[in-house]
Amino acid sequence: MQLTLVQLEQRTGDVGGNRDRATAAIERAAARGADLVALPELWNVGYFSFESYAREAESVEGPTLSAMSTLAEEHDVGLLAGSVVEDLTASADDGVDVPADEGLANTAVFFDRDGRRRGIYRKHHLFGYGSAETRLLTPGEDLPTVEFEGFTLGFTTCYDLRFPELYRELSEAGATLVLVPSAWPYPRVEHWQVLPRARAIENLAYVATINGAAEFDEATLVGRSTVYDPWGTPLASAGDEPTLVTADVDPDRVAEVRAEFPAWQDRRR
């Protein structure tokens, strides 16, 4: 299966332009043979554009994610539409299960090749270090998995990488490929490279980190979107410029590695 990570250029105050750039990138990825495409965290508003969150929030059936659903169907790709700021009240009004009756969430949505919404993941761990996320957003509760092309997909978001128990829970639920949309800034480059690699090694699973390419007043994103295999080996990566990162991933490889190195058999609870 060909996996493509969209390391997207994001501009503050340019939701329409960000959406156009995402659309063009998805179309390029599909034209190059991608089966599964993934976008970064809060790519339409920009993670550090906190003042825009309430104004740009929408339901999971709103215009941004509806456009992503259409793209997935038109181009016959699985699509993790990164994450957007979700208006929980609007989603509830649309008949979607939500963790609270009101407020906002950092919400990632997965669409199948037919454009059908198959998974909703709301970021569990909200970042408080130099960020307004904990003040503005409601944490998620569910940890879904989705079957796609022989993989069991799991989803986490950015800061979640620092909490290994979340990834072990996904692996115990069968996840073999975890997609991690992110907005990871400088200077924590080493953390960005070590943490997902460790999550892959610990769980003998693929981990793919999808970061943005953007410079905000408060921070600049490190880029370096990467696909790690079940040994923790980087299969494909990038610098900090806008680009597509593509790797071939094989669900059978997970079973092979787990059989070759059955560390879980030695686990003591």
Q: 41, 56, 86, 215: which is the annotated catalytic residue? A: 41
Spatial distance between the Cα atoms of 38 and 44, rounded to a whole number of angstroms = 14
Q: Which of 101-105, 216-220, 228-232: highest mean pLDDT?
A: 228-232
Q: Which helix (H) or strand (E) holds 198?
A: helix 189-203
pLDDT, tens digit, 9 for 90 and up, residues 123-155: 999 998 878 999 999 999 999 999 999 999 999
CA–CA separation, 121 vs 127, rounded Å? 16
Mean pLDDT of the chain: 96
Exactly one of 9, 56, 158, 215 is catalytic; name it.
158
- Given 9, 58, 86, 123, the catalytic residue: 123
Is 123 assigned a catalytic role?
yes
E strand segments, the chain = 2-7, 36-38, 78-87, 104-111, 117-122, 145-148, 151-155, 177-181, 206-210, 226-228, 234-236, 243-248
pLDDT band at 21 (very low <50, low <70, confident <90, very high): very high
**174-183, 200-209, 260-269: least confidently modelled range:** 260-269
Q: What is the pLDDT of residue 129?
A: 80
- The residue segments making up the domain with residue 115 are 2-266
The CATH number assigned to the domain holding 75 equals 3.60.110.10
Q: How many angstroms separate the CA atoms of 9 and 24, rounded?
A: 12
Structural domain count of the chain: 1
For residues 167 and 179, what is the distance between their CA atoms, to the nearest angstrom? 11
| CA distances in angstroms from 60 to 2, 101, 160, listed in the order given | 26, 15, 21
Whether 74 sits among the annotated catalytic residues: the reply is: no
For 172-200, what is the mean pLDDT?
A: 97
CA–CA separation, 41 vs 214, rounded Å?
Answer: 12
Active site residue 190: no
pTM of the model: 0.97
Determine what percent of the chain is predicted with pLDDT higher than 70.
100
